Structure formats: C-alpha cells, structure tokens
A and B are shown apart, each in its own frame.
Chain A
Amino acid sequence: MTEQALEGLKVVEYGQFISAPYCTKMMADLGAEVIKVEEPGIGDEARRYGPFPNDIPHPEQSGLFLYLNSNKLGITLNVRTATGQRILKELLREADILVENNPPQLIKDLGLDYPCLKEVNPRLIMTSITPYGQTGPYKDYKGYDLNAQVLGGQGTVLGNPNREPLTFQPSQGHYQGAINGAAATMVALFAREATGLGQRVDISEFQVIAALQRGAFMPMHKFQGAIGTRNAHRGIALLWPYGVFLCKDGYFTIMTLEFYHWQSFIEAIGSPEWATDPKYTDQFTMALYADELEAHLVSWLVDHTKQEIGEICFQRKLPFQPVYSVKDLAESEQLKARDYFVEIDHPVAGVLKYPGAPAKLTKTPWRVDRPAPLLGEHNEEVYCKRLGYSEGHLAELRRAGVI
C-alpha cells in the first residue's frame, strides 16, 4: 500500500478547543503522526463542550472533541510546570511541527516561544493560531471566535441593516484559523526543504477572514467609496430575485444571475398569472417591484418543500438551492453516494457517524485509523516506549502532577 501523503511527519499539538485541533486533524487524516498534549485530569476544554449523547456530559463522549481529535495520540502533560516544559521540549526535539493556539503571552511565560524552541530543535516549525496574531497592537488582547470574525469584517454584508451584523456559526473564525494554519504549515515545510531550518508561522483568524472572505472589495472602496452593505435575506440589489426565501419546510436560495433563469423557473412552476404582469417580465424593472414580486414568489414557495423545488431547479439547471439543515445533510443521497460520512468506533462513545473527507485524493486517500484518544491514553506509549521513561518514573511524574 502506498504511503500516506503526510506519512513520516511528526506533529505535536499543544492547544485546545477548535483551531489547533482541527489544524492537526487535517494533517493526521493525511497520515501525519499527531501527539496531542492535554492538561492532566481536565484535558481539552472541548471535552466539556459537547454535544453529548442524550445530553449527558462525559469527557470521553463530547461530539466536538471526538470529531476534532480522531487519528491522534493523546498524552497528558502539565506544561505549566518546569518539568512539564522540559518534557515538552524533549518531545519537540524529535518533532517536525508544533501547532498551538495559546495566548502569545502565556507561551512566552512558559518559556516556549519560538526563540527558545529554535534552540531545542532548529528544524521545528511552530505554527501559532490566535484571534489577532503574534504582532500588532492587539496581539495581547483577549479574543474569542466572535471577536476575530468581527474584527475581520465578516459581518459587513451579513444580516439585517437595522439589526446587529451576523457572524458564521458555529465558531467559523476558529475553523478558518485551522485550515489556514494547515496550509501555511505546508509552506514552511517546503521552505525547510531548501533551508534545512524551521520557523515560526503566525496565523491570525481576523486576518485570514479580512483577506480571503472580504478583502477583494477594497479597490471598490478606495476608488468608489463603496462599502459592503447588509441586505438581510436578500442578495445585492443589482439582481432580482436574489436571496433566501421561506418555503414549506425551510428555506430556499435563489440567484437570478441571468434573466433566463427566472423565465425558466416561472415556466417550470406552471406560468402563474402574476408572473405575466409586465412589471415582472423585464429584468430591469423587476427590481423596482422587489417587495411585490417577493410576496408572489413566497406565496408559491410556501406551498412546496425544499425537495420539490430542488428537483425542479436541478432538472432545469437553475442555480437555486435548498438550504440544507444538518438533518438534510445526514440524509443526503449525494453525501451517501460520496461515502462522505464515516463510522468510527470509540472505546467509550461507541460507534458514531462523523463528517469525513474535505477532499478526495486518488493515491493517498484521507482516512481515519483510530478514534479520538482517551485522556492520557498514550502516556505509556509515548513516555515509556519513545522517551524511554521507566514505569516508576512515570508514576513519580503522575504523583507530582506533571502527567
């Protein structure tokens, strides 16, 4: 069997919740070895986050933790102790990559900032993912996912202009940090091929959002004074109908990029009389009667399900889509045909379904070989078998609260 794409790469994760864990999950799912470092006793906060089967909290049954930490080895280590820091550095001596998402000041206080780690292992790539980044006046500010998204201008065009701007749920700022962390780490890996040296990779969640989600419209602002505007459930005013509309069992998105899309849709739904009104048969005047037209449109939509409308649009190749709920995703024939969901057996949580591959590689496919680790599950394997600690030494470290 051909080796996996990232086989041979050794990654250490010192982080929690979402951004660092999803970043290393992407690497683990392509064959990198990931050792996840958790605080003894308490572990990653995602273990307490849920969701839980039947809503009964259990640190080994948190849906978020189980999903984000498959394929990883799990060890406990109290990095806030001098001994813990020494042991982490021992691990990093042999590692290619460290991914962490701690506040920059904490990393400095623990003696784990890049200049220190560079001494330990000049080949180490240290990827740090934070809401604001490692530089700039806000670098030591407190930030949650919400703050990163908002500073990044994510909500500029999201929501009702008369209400608060919206952000993407759940925690999409952290996921943006994660995927950009994985991408940028690969750049550093390639750089290392030429130089033989590692480096610090600085991923700021607000910046990846500002640039990649929203940044392309800055020339319009500079030269035309344009700013992004919120238009509630409607898309930008230039096209019509364009937006998300209520239907019988949920919502449907419609984007009339070309007038023939609308004409085809009207035909498909039996050419109702209101649609023949001259106001609505001219692409340019239609937008002037947006409210009226929407009322007519929705009066038809609310009598039909997402599936019915979806089928019509699919047959006629209209770029109008049903808004899938998680239930729709779980039952999706498309995702089933793609074998998108995977079943993983976990020693405590049992067999559960999980989201699968972000993309398919033909020679080195994405795969899950092991479930998320129990807290400290691989302490023996990593400390004894690899670092050569005796069982006695491990017991000592445990008693002293280091492991």
Chain B
Amino acid sequence: MRILNIMKLLNSVAALILLSALCSCGQTIKDKSTYPDHVGDITFNKNVDDPNFKVCNQDRPPQYYEFGKGLQYEGEKPAIISHFKEKLKNRNLSGQTGYLTIRFIVNCEGKTGFFRIEGIDKNLEKMDFNKELVSEILEVTKQLNKWGVPSRGNTKFDFYQYLTFKLEDGRLIEIMP
C-alpha cells in the first residue's frame, strides 16, 4: 500500500514536471509569436491587402531610414505636402486632433501596398479617428506615385515607409517624417 502511494506521488510529481515543461514550452512559443521577425513587419492580409501588390525581394524590406537619406520622393517633402494640401478637403471636425500614421511598403517598382493605420491623440494615447477622414487620407496616400526606389548595382529595393499626419480638429497641420 505504502509503495502504491509512493508510486502515485511520483506519478503526480512527474505529471507536474511534465505540465510545467509544457507550460514553459508554450510560453516560449507564445514569446516567439509576441514579436514579428522585426518590429513593424507587415504581412499580407487577404481581407485588406491588394493581392496584386508584390514585394520584389524575398528578404525583409528595410526601413526607409536604413538608406541614410531620409524620405525619398520626387520633389522631396514639399511635393508630398502639396499633394495632400491639394487633394484633402479642408475640414473642421471638432475633436479630431492627434496623429494619424499610415505605414506601408514601397516596392522596387515604386508602387505602394500593405497599408496599416494607427491613430493616437495629442497625449499619444490610442484614438480612433473619424472613419471618413481616415479613408480620405488613406486614399490620397495611395495616390502618391513618385517614390524614390533605393538601389545598389542592378538591385532595386523594397522598403517600409510611414507618413504621420498631425491633425487639429480634422485639419492637416504637419506631415512627418
């Protein structure tokens, strides 16, 4: 009887150890899925992304700043500002104040896709902006078609870019970066 109890106890301990190992294994897997390969990586989402948009290189697209030249667009930043000032409606939407960021990929042909949107208020806390306003800014962003494509030798690179729109009551104040 005593031997049987010891056996049961050992089984319980073994089960606990196994459970613990499974938990820690699960934890490790969870940790790995907590982060993408690199912060900010965007992967294809069939529900929102254009299936015709292709990233040219299999390697991870670098960030725009990794080329050391800042934002690369024909006509530089003033061309981007003019584009938005010309195309965006001049609105007065009380309370629509903060920062709307659109992240996307520019591929090796200078085409854009995989757009992701995030809004924060003036205190840099999460904020959901007016849907119509967001939709309009996104559409105008998609119309930007003079992105500089970094290259080396015969290889042209895709890259990650973002644009942040500083808004006050729905009016565009500044564009970053």
Q: Do A and B come together as binding partners?
A: no
B binding-site residues for A, Cβ under 8 Å = none
A binding-site residues for B, Cβ under 8 Å = none
